[in-house]
Amino acid sequence: MDLRPLQPDDALAVSALLATAFDGPMETRLVSQLRQDGAMALELVAADAERTYGYIGFCKLTAPGDWWSLSPVAVSPSRQGGGIGSELIRYGLDHARRAGARAVTVLGDPVYYRRFGFTCKAAENLTSPYSGPNYMLYPIAPLTAGIAAEVTYPEAFWSL
């Protein structure tokens, strides 16, 4: 299985994967709108010659500058538990570092995301519509962990 950047031919397979993994069209609509708005920073797929099994998207936050959000990650239900999601997250965070992202936010299970370096503690001074016990930060640049800042998401998060 290859981990690679999203290609235009992948869009339909990714839409089907998102609808299946999230049990509905909301994530598919969000990703589509983020693409249309030019707000995606990175999209990766895990695929072989026959099928796309995994997807991860990182959008550019409106503020703070040079921050990204991991939103969403999905693995085909038939392949969950095999490490595909973990590999996509690790590969994506490495790419974020190399691309100059200063930090990455995520909303999700702290037990799962902690192993990749996300922490609730680093996000405790952030103001966001998603603030709470499942809101985490992966600090990359110095002094981003614990910073007091307002996090602003792209319009697509509110227009669907």
Residue 13 is encoded by which pair of tokens? 């397979």
pTM: 0.95
**What pLDDT does 160 receive?**
65
Q: Is 77 exposed, middle or buried (0-12, 13-18, 19+ CB in 10 A)?
A: exposed
CATH of residue 77: 3.40.630.30
> What band does 150 get if pLDDT is binned at 50, 70 and 90?
very high
Dihedral angle sign, alpha carbons of residues 29, 110, 58, 103: positive
- pLDDT digits 0-9 by tens, 65-90: 999 999 899 999 999 999 999 999 99
pLDDT, average across residues 121-144: 96
How far is Cα 123 from Cα 145, in angstroms, rounded to an integer?
7
At residue 46, what are phi and psi to the nearest 5 degrees? Answer: -110, 115
Residue 6, pLDDT > 80, answer yes
Range of the domain at 108: 2-159
Domains contained in the chain, number: 1
78 DSSP 8-state letter: G
**Strands laid side by side in the 52-60 sheet:** 2-5, 40-47, 52-60, 67-75, 103-107, 135-139
